[in-house]
Structures are given as C-alpha cells and as structure tokens.
Amino acid sequence: MTTTTTTTTTPTTDDTTPPAAAVAARSSPETAARRSFIDGFNANLRLWQAASDILLEIRLFQNQRLTSAAVAFADAGAADFVLTDDERQRLDSLFVHFITCLDGLPPYLQSYALAAGKPPPAQSTQFSIQCANLQVSFHCLRMVITQKFEDISYFPPGAEQADLRKTEIVRDMLRVMHEAPFWSLQVNGEPYVEKIRLIGASLLAIIHRNQTSPLGTRARSDFTVLLDMLTRLDSKASDALRSHSSLDL
C-alpha cells in the first residue's frame, strides 16, 4: 500500500521587503512635509555657499594684487584693479551659479508663490516663512556682491549705472516684502531685519551721491517705504537709519 504525503507550503517573508506599515509611514503627509522643509533648508545653504564662493574669490584676487604690487597698488585704489580674462571668466561662472542657485526650488518656495496671494499646500505657514527668508536673503546678498564687484571694477565704469543696478535690487526686495504676509517678516526676527537695514544703508549712499538726479528721487521714495516697513516691524534698525537719513533726505 502506497502512502501519499501532502506537503503544505508556508509563505516566506523576504527580509528585504519593507513592511506595509513602513511604506505607509514613508509616504505619509507628515514625512512629505518634513522633506519639503528640508528642501528650503538646503536651498538656504546653497544660497549662502554660492555667495561665499564669489566673495572668497574676490578676496583671493585682492590679496594676490596686494602681494604682487605691495603698498603702491594698495594706494592706487579700485580704479587700477584690472581683472584678467581668466579671473573675469571665473567670476562670471560663479555669479551665474549664484543667480540661478534658487531656480530649482519647489513652487511653494519660489518668489511667485508670494505674489500669488494664496497659501501654498499643507504647512503653508512654515513655507511662507521659509520663502520670505530665502527671497530677502537672496536680494541682500545680491547687493553685497554688487558692492564687492564695484571694488574690483567688474562692471563697466559709470557711477550712475552702478547706482541704477542697486536701486533695481532694492525694488526687487521691496516687491518681495510687500507680497509676503507681514507676519512672515516678523517671525524671521532681527537677523532678517539686519538684511533690510543693509539695503537701507545702500539707499542712503545713493541719495547722498545723487542729490538732484532722478536716481536720487527714486532712492528717497524707496527709502521712505523701507523705513516704514522697519518701523512696522518695531526694529531698532529703523531708529539707526532714521537718524542717518536726517542728514541726507
């Protein structure tokens, strides 16, 4: 008599396959929001790194000039600072990288997200704060880099052209500040205000150099708007700028 044995196969679990709960956790809204916040944090690091690369390169060029020409060149000033083709090409590349370093931001962190006038997706409060900080930091760093470029004669000569470039940066920054929810400016705190104060100091210098020029009129108008914004933020920077502006306005 032949006995037939029936074998029951038990399903095996592949250790490399994540449990369903783990997959669900990774795709949860909370996890997606965390990734989104990290996007903004990483973008801020990229922005400051790109600006630092330019400023360090400028410092390197200046130190090389001082070392090779010693005191005689130091006394000559920026007018005698002539960039070589290689140096200019290097700065061009770094500047383009800086200007475009925020182009890959997700839509809710782009400047047009503020202009849309409607809240971005979930966690809109945090995104608005990040967006306002990124955009104002960008324009503040544009101003710093523009001023440093003037020190090494990077731009074509012309004082009015230089001041015009700066007023355009100011207007870009004011546009961001007007489009952002006011509370998002407040939450960013005094370090944020210091960036705005730097822009105000640049405007005062433009006003001083262009007393009768249309550029001076533009700068005075924008300075009034910026000072009002700082006053609304209840910042100590507004008092400092107001005391200096009494000499120029």
Contact between 152 and 73 under an 8 Å Cβ cutoff? The reply is no
- The whole-angstrom distance between residue 48's C-alpha and the CA centroid of its chain comes to 7
Q: Taking the domains of the chain in order of start, what are their residue ranges?
A: 32-245
What pLDDT, on the 0 to 100 scale, is given for residue 24? 44
Count other C-beta atoms under 10 Å from residue 1's C-beta. Answer: 2
What pLDDT, on the 0 to 100 scale, is given for residue 19? 53
What pLDDT, on the 0 to 100 scale, is given for residue 75? 54
Closest Cα to residue 137, out of 219, 69, 183, 194?
Answer: 194
Contact between 153 and 80 under an 8 Å Cβ cutoff? The reply is no
- What is the value of pTM for the model shown? 0.76
- The whole-angstrom distance between residue 157's C-alpha and the CA centroid of its chain comes to 26
* Series of mean pLDDT values for 10-residue runs along the chain (249 residues): 51 51 48 70 95 97 79 52 91 98 87 62 74 93 96 88 95 92 87 90 94 94 93 68 57
Contact between 106 and 36 under an 8 Å Cβ cutoff? The reply is yes
What pLDDT, on the 0 to 100 scale, is given for residue 111? 75
What pLDDT, on the 0 to 100 scale, is given for residue 80? 63
Closest Cα to residue 142, out of 122, 160, 163, 169?
Answer: 169
Q: Residue 126, class by beta-carbon neighbours within 10 Å (0-12 exposed, 13-18 middle, 19+ buried)?
A: middle
What pLDDT, on the 0 to 100 scale, is given for residue 22? 47
